[in-house]
Amino acid sequence: MNRLVFVYGTLKRGEPNHRFLEASKGIARYVGTAVLREAYPLVIASKYNIPFLLNKSGEGHRIRGEVYDVDGKTMESLDELEGYPDLYTREEKEVEMADRSVALAWVYILRNHDEKLLATATVPLDEYRSMGDHGRPYVDGEDCGTYEDLFR
């Protein structure tokens, strides 16, 4: 059974990790652009300049991103990439598609964060672009499987 996933960071088209969706051994079909119905803080933080969606519903902005229809194999690959369930939690959230229809999609949200992360964070953004005005391009960090690895 396929499911929808909302991506807001490096997995979007034109971003550094989009290749993981393209190279998936399963199905990853682009559905369209969307915004989260609830506001969340999206920050860029850590020595890797990773975009994190913080677990603070009602704060921040309605985040803009993309929705993909994925199968179980692709979801497993995304879970591994995102460090689920240790680093991120995965929750179903309402997203508003470009045509104003509403869908439920899985969203990866940082499980925990502390002052160490916030000390490295940008101001909350409404949309992520690695080469955005924030001046913090993504740094590939394949060795960051745990929260502690983000600061070593």
Catalytic residue list: 82
- CA dihedral defined by 13, 54, 113, 87, rounded to 10 degrees? -50
Q: Other C-beta atoms within 10 Å of 89: how many?
A: 15
For residues 107 and 36, is the Cβ–Cβ distance under 8 A? Answer: yes
Candidates 53, 121, 44, 147; CA nearest to 93 is: 53
DSSP 39-57: -B-EEEETTTTEEEE-S-T
User: Distance between terminal CA atoms of the chain?
Assistant: 39
